[in-house]
Structure 1
Amino acid sequence: MKIAKIITVVIFSIISLKTNAQSLKVASVFGDYMVLQREKKVPVWGTSTPKEKITVTFNGQSKSTKSDANGDWILYLDPLETSFKGKEMIVEGNEKLVIKDVLVGEVWICAGQSNMVMSYNSSAEVRGLVPLASNIRSFYVENKVALKEQKDAPGKWKITQPKSAVAFSFAYFLNNLGDVPVGIIQASWGSSSIEAWMPRAMTKELPIFNTIMKEFDADKERVARIQQLINKPNWTNQENIFLRRNSNIIYNAMMHPLIPFACRGLVWYQGERNTRYIAGFPDVDGENWFHRVSGMKDYDEVLKKWIETYRKRWNDNDMHFMVVMLPGYGKGTQKKQNIDIESPTEESWAWMRESQLSAMELPNVSVVNTIDLGDVKNIHPTDKLPIGQRTALLAAKKTLKLKGEAVGPTLKNVEVKDGELIVHFNHAEGLKTIDGKVPTGFWIADDTQNWVKANAKIQDEIVVLSSLEVKNPKYIRYAFAGKPTVNLVNSSELPAYPFRTDNWEE
C-alpha cells in the first residue's frame, strides 16, 4: 500500500509540473527587428513557468527577475543610448530566446480612426518618400476586438515604413530631424470613437462612458454577437463595421497589450466619429445604438481624462501626446449637415477643434494645426504630408529639444482701442499672409453676438480688426468654421491656430 501511495504521489507531482509548466515567452510586441525607446527605462515582460528566474541581456546590460505564481514576469533595462546597429536581446530562463536585429531610437504609437489608417498609397506626396526612407521600422497591430483586456496583440515588427500616410511621413521627417532610428506602432481602425479606445475602468471617472458601458452590458444580443465574431477568421464588411463601432473592445485587444512598452509618446488622429452631435447624448434605438458617443463639446473632458488614464497605465507622466486637429470639412452635425462652411456660428468641426486644443492644458500635450488643410467634401483628404511634417517638427521641438520654430501663431491677448481689436500673438515672428493679401478668417462681434467679417490688417506682429458694422467690438472668432479660408502664418509658414474669445466669459 505504501509503495502504491508513493507511486501515486510521484505521478500526481509529474502531472502537476506538466500542467504548471509553460514555455518561456515575451509579450507579442517584442520581436526581431524591433526598436526600443532610448533615454527611458525599458520594461521587458512575458510569461514562463511559475517562480522561474528570468534574465534579459541587451547592449551590455543584464537584468534578472523571477516570475510570479501565474508565470508572469517583468523587468526593466536601464535607459539605452541610440543605436543604428542591430543587436541581439537574449531572454533566458529554463529556455533561451534570441531577439535579433534590435535598434534603439524613438518609438511612437500612432493611433486613431480612418485618417490615421489611410495608406500612403493614397497620398502621392507621401508615397514619393518611400525610396528615400531609412532607419524606420514598424509594428502593425491587426484589427481585433476582445471583451476583456488581453495580454498579446497580433502583429510583427518589420524593417519597413508603417502603412499609414500620417505615421510614415511623421516617422520620415522625425528620422531626418533627429538623426535617429524611428519605430512606429500603428494601432488604428476606421470610424472608431474615442470610447472604443478607452479601458472599462474609465467608467468610474466619466458618467458618459459609464452610461455607454451599462447599455453595452445590458444588450445581451450585441455582446453575444461580438463573442461569436471574435474567433471568426474573416469578417464581412458589415461585421467589421459593427465591431469597430462598439466602445472599449478595441482598447482591450489592440491597445492594452502594448502597455507598458517604452515609447516617447502617442500620435492621436481621431475625432470624426465624435462630431455627429454638438454635445450631450442623442436618443438611440436598435438601429443607431452606435451614436451613443460623446459629442464635440463633451470631447474636451473625455480627451483629457483619456490622456491621463493612458499615462497612469504606462506609468509615464512624460509620455507625450500629439493630437492631430481635425482639418477643414464642409458638413455639420446630424442636426444640420448642410452648413455655411465659413460661418463661425454653425455646428461645425470648429467645436471639436476647440475641445482638442483644450488638451494642451495638460503638460506634454501638443496639437498639430491643420486648419489650412482638408477637403470640403471629402472626410478623408489626401493632404497628409504637411500633417507628418508638422507632427515631426513638434516632436523634435518638444521631445528631442531641437531648436527652431514648430508652432504657428497662437493667441496671446487682445486690446480694445478706439473701436478696434488689436490681437497679439505668440510665435508671431515674421507674421504675414501666405498669399500676400489681407488676413482672412476673422469675425468680430459686440455684446449682441451678431458676428460679421472683420477688416484685418497686419502691423508688425499684431493684427488689427475693425468693421463699420460693429462700433464697439468685443469678441473675436478666428478660423472658427467648418472649412475656413485662412492665410495667416509666421516666418516658418506655419498657420495660426483657431481661437475664439467669447469663451473667456463662459
Structure 2
Amino acid sequence: MKQLLSSLSGKRQSLLMLVLTLFSFSANAKVLLPQILSSNMVLQREKPINIWGYASPAEKVEVTFAGQKKQTVTDKNGNWSVILRPLKTSATPQTMTIAGSNKIELTNILVGEVWVCSGQSNMEYQMRKLAKIPKPKNEKLGFPADEVEKAKNTQIRIFLVNRKQLAKPDSVHKSWAVAQDSALKAFSAVGYFFAKEVQEKLGIPVGMISSSVSGSAIEPWVSPEAFAQEPYFKNTKVGNDPGKFYTPMIEPLSKFKIRGFLWYQGETNCFLNEDISYAYKMKTLINLWRKAWGEQDLPFYYVQIAPYDYSKQKSDKVVLTTETQPKFWEAQQQVLRLPKTGMISTNDLNDNGGDLHPTYKWEVGRRLALVALGKTYNQQIDFSGPVFKAISFRNNQALLDFDYLKSANATKITGFTIADASGKFVNADAALKDGKVFVFSKEIAKPTAVRYNWTENPTGNLYSNGLPALPFRTDNPLTKQFKTN
C-alpha cells in the first residue's frame, strides 16, 4: 500500500484514501448513498437509471421505485448498484426505497430533464445577488430582482455541488432541494433561469446540478489523462492543476444520468491571451465528460464570454490588447464544429466594460434554454442570432451569407470593418438585402476580408430572431488549424 500511495500525486493519494476509508467504513456500516441521490431529486427520463451506494460486503440490497424492484448483493468492498429501466416523465412526487440491513426512503422524487452546469464565477453567480445589483440599462431584457421571493415552482429542483462533500456518502439524504428560498439564493442564476425557461416551455420537471468554482481556469475541469490523449498537447505541459476540480466535482456525478451540459467559463484563460489552445482544451473537456457519462452525443451548450476591457488590465505574463478577446471568441466558436454543441452570444450583455461579472444572468440562462429547446428538444423556435457561413465578392462589395438570418431587409447595420489586400481594416457600411449582408466602403476598391464586432467593446447591431450575431472575421486562421478528430 505504501508503494502504491508513493506512486500517486498528492491529490490522487487523497482521493484513494477517501475511497479506502469508505470501503473500510462500509464493512461495518448500514446502507449509504452518494450525495447526488437524495429526496427532492429529479431523475432523467427515458434513460436507464443507475442507483448505487455502499454497505457491508455480501449484503443484500433492494431498490424499489415506480413499480420496479431491483435486487443486488454488495461486492467484497461493499459497493452495490442496480439499473432501473427507463422512466416516463412524472410530475407527481414518488418515493424510492433502498433496503439492506437498514431502510432508506427518498421522498418527493420527480422524473424529467436533468442538466449539469459548470464553469467559473459567471456560472457560479448566485441568485441572491440579483436583489443588490443596480438596474440594468437594457430595460427590454427585464430585471427579475425579486425572483427568489417569487420562485414557488416545485417542478424545478436544484443540487449545488460541494467539492469537499460530493465524494462522501450521504446520511441525511437532503442534498437536492426545491428551487426556492435559501437553497435558491445560493444557486447559479444562469442555471436557474435556464431551468425556468425549459420547464415553462416543456411543462415537465427540470433538475439542475451546479458544479462551479469562481476564478477557475478550464484545466482543473479536465483530467491529466485526457490531456495526455489529445495530440495537440502531446509535447506541451498543461498548467493550472489539471484534474483539481474534475476529480472531486465532476467525476462523482458521472453515474447520475443527465440530458446534457451547460458551460460558462473562459475569463481566466482569456487573461492568459489564449486562442487556439483554449479551443483544444474545450474539445478535450467535452470528449472527457461525454466519455465519463458513457454517452458520446450528450449536448454541450456554452456561453461566449461577455465583453470586457482586457486591454486595460495589467499582466505580468502576457501583453493584452484590444484583439485579445475577439481572438478568444474565435477560439470558442471553433468548438461549434464538434457535434451536439451550441454557443450563445453575450456581445450585448454588459453595461460596463470594466465589469467582469455582467448582471444579465437571466438572459444568459434564457438564451441557453433557447438553444436546448431548439436543438435538443426539437421545438420549432428561433434559438440563434446570425452565424457567419461564407463570403463572396462582387465588384467593390463583400457579400456575406449567414445561418439563422431572417431575410427581411433592415436599416443600416453597424459593427463591420473591411479590408483589401493590404490588410488595413476600415469602418464599413453594411445593409441586409435578400438574405445577405452587403458590406462596402468608399476607401476599399477590391475587398478581401470582413470583420464584425472585432473589438472587446462591440457595438454592432446585426440581430436576427432578437438575438445578436456572433463576432467573426472572414480571414480566420483557426479554421484550418483546429482539428475536430
| TM-score (structure 2 length as normaliser) | 0.83
The match for 1:127 is 145
For the 8 Å contact 2:407–2:436, the answer to whether it is kept is: no
Instruction: For 2:104 and 2:406, locate their aligned partners in 1 and report how far apart those are by CA, in whole Å.
Output: 54
Is it true that 1:140 corresponds to 2:147 in the alignment? no
Instruction: For 1:117 and 1:172, locate their aligned partners in 2 and report how far apart those are by CA, in whole Å.
Output: 17
Aligned amino acid, residue 160 of structure 2: Y
Which residue of 245, 253, 256 maps to 1:250? Answer: 245
Alignment of 1:36-185 (within 5 A): 36-123=43-130, 125-130=143-148, 131-134=150-153, 135-144=155-164, 150=167, 156-161=175-180, 162=184, 163-185=187-209
Instruction: For 1:417 and 1:73, locate their aligned partners in 2 and report how far apart those are by CA, in whole Å.
Output: 67
Instruction: For 1:93 and 1:330, locate their aligned partners in 2 and report how far apart those are by CA, in whole Å.
Output: 58
The match for 1:386 is 363
Which residue of 449, 471, 481 maps to 2:455? Answer: 481
For residues 206-256 of structure 1, the C-alpha deviation after alignment (integer angstroms, 9 at most, x for no partner) is 57598657x7xxxxxxxxxxxxxxxxxxxxxxxxxxxxx744222222222
Is it true that 1:442 corresponds to 2:416 in the alignment? yes
SS at structure 1 position matched to 2:383: coil
Is it true that 1:259 corresponds to 2:266 in the alignment? no
* RMSD, matched Cα: 2.5
Moved more, 300-309 or 394-403: 394-403
Instruction: For 1:399 and 1:112, locate their aligned partners in 2 and report how far apart those are by CA, in whole Å.
Output: 21
For the 8 Å contact 1:203–1:210, the answer to whether it is kept is: no
For the 8 Å contact 2:409–2:433, the answer to whether it is kept is: no
For residues 258-282 of structure 1, the C-alpha deviation after alignment (integer angstroms, 9 at most, x for no partner) is 112111111111000101233xxxx
Aligned amino acid, residue 108 of structure 1: W
Superposition deviation, residue 296 in structure 1: 2.9
Instruction: For 1:256 and 1:348, locate their aligned partners in 2 and report how far apart those are by CA, in whole Å.
Output: 32
Structure 2 segments unaligned to the other structure (5+ residues): 1-23, 132-142
For the 8 Å contact 1:126–1:169, the answer to whether it is kept is: no
For the 8 Å contact 1:431–1:489, the answer to whether it is kept is: no
Superposition deviation, residue 315 in structure 1: 0.4
For residues 89-142 of structure 1, the C-alpha deviation after alignment (integer angstroms, 9 at most, x for no partner) is 111233321111101111111111111111223335243333155121111112
Alignment of 1:228-239 (within 5 A): none
The match for 1:369 is 345
For residues 22-56 of structure 1, the C-alpha deviation after alignment (integer angstroms, 9 at most, x for no partner) is 32112110001111111212111111222333222
For residues 371-400 of structure 1, the C-alpha deviation after alignment (integer angstroms, 9 at most, x for no partner) is 222231100111112111111111111222
Superposition deviation, residue 430 in structure 1: 4.8
The match for 2:219 is 195
For the 8 Å contact 1:117–1:164, the answer to whether it is kept is: yes
Structure 1 segments unaligned to the other structure (5+ residues): 1-16, 216-244, 279-294, 340-345
SS at structure 2 position matched to 1:127: coil
Instruction: For 2:25 and 2:337, locate their aligned partners in 1 and report how far apart those are by CA, in whole Å.
Output: 54
Superposition deviation, residue 505 in structure 1: 6.5
Tell me the number of residue pairs that the alignment of Structure 1 and Structure 2 aligns. Answer: 430
The match for 1:309 is 288
For the 8 Å contact 1:29–1:152, the answer to whether it is kept is: no
SS at structure 2 position matched to 1:298: helix
For the 8 Å contact 1:150–1:256, the answer to whether it is kept is: no
Call closer, same or farther: CA 1:318–1:349 in 2, change over 3 Å: same
Instruction: For 1:198 and 1:117, locate their aligned partners in 2 and report how far apart those are by CA, in whole Å.
Output: 18
Instruction: For 1:18 and 1:261, locate their aligned partners in 2 and report how far apart those are by CA, in whole Å.
Output: 23
Instruction: For 1:429 and 1:474, locate their aligned partners in 2 and report how far apart those are by CA, in whole Å.
Output: 25
Instruction: For 2:110 and 2:396, locate their aligned partners in 1 and report how far apart those are by CA, in whole Å.
Output: 60
For residues 347-383 of structure 1, the C-alpha deviation after alignment (integer angstroms, 9 at most, x for no partner) is 3211222222222211111112212222311001111
Is it true that 1:420 corresponds to 2:438 in the alignment? no
Instruction: For 2:426 and 2:58, locate their aligned partners in 1 and report how far apart those are by CA, in whole Å.
Output: 72
Alignment of 1:456-471 (within 5 A): 456-471=430-445
Instruction: For 1:328 and 1:347, locate their aligned partners in 2 and report how far apart those are by CA, in whole Å.
Output: 12
SS at structure 1 position matched to 2:250: helix
The match for 1:499 is 472
Aligned amino acid, residue 430 of structure 2: A
Which residue of 309, 314, 329 maps to 1:353? Answer: 329
For the 8 Å contact 2:217–2:268, the answer to whether it is kept is: yes
Is it true that 1:322 corresponds to 2:301 in the alignment? yes
Instruction: For 2:125 and 2:234, locate their aligned partners in 1 and report how far apart those are by CA, in whole Å.
Output: 28
For the 8 Å contact 2:323–2:454, the answer to whether it is kept is: no
Superposition deviation, residue 18 in structure 1: 10
SS at structure 1 position matched to 2:300: strand
For the 8 Å contact 2:98–2:105, the answer to whether it is kept is: yes
Call closer, same or farther: CA 1:431–1:442 in 2, change over 3 Å: farther
SS at structure 1 position matched to 2:128: helix
Call closer, same or farther: CA 1:98–1:172 in 2, change over 3 Å: same
Percent sequence identity is: 33
Call closer, same or farther: CA 1:406–1:450 in 2, change over 3 Å: same
Aligned amino acid, residue 129 of structure 1: E
Instruction: For 2:461 and 2:31, locate their aligned partners in 1 and report how far apart those are by CA, in whole Å.
Output: 58
Aligned amino acid, residue 292 of structure 2: R
SS at structure 1 position matched to 2:113: strand
Call closer, same or farther: CA 1:152–1:381 in 2, change over 3 Å: farther
SS at structure 2 position matched to 1:502: coil
Which residue of 264, 267, 279 maps to 1:269? Answer: 264
Aligned amino acid, residue 464 of structure 1: F
The match for 2:386 is 409
Call closer, same or farther: CA 1:408–1:432 in 2, change over 3 Å: farther
For the 8 Å contact 1:409–1:428, the answer to whether it is kept is: yes
Instruction: For 2:358 and 2:47, locate their aligned partners in 1 and report how far apart those are by CA, in whole Å.
Output: 36
Aligned amino acid, residue 158 of structure 1: A
For residues 122-179 of structure 1, the C-alpha deviation after alignment (integer angstroms, 9 at most, x for no partner) is 335243333155121111112449xxx9466998111125422211111111111111
For residues 309-351 of structure 1, the C-alpha deviation after alignment (integer angstroms, 9 at most, x for no partner) is 11111101232111111111122373444x5xxxxxx332112
Superposition deviation, residue 432 in structure 1: 6.0
For the 8 Å contact 2:26–2:78, the answer to whether it is kept is: no
Call closer, same or farther: CA 1:247–1:305 in 2, change over 3 Å: closer
| TM-score (structure 1 length as normaliser) | 0.79
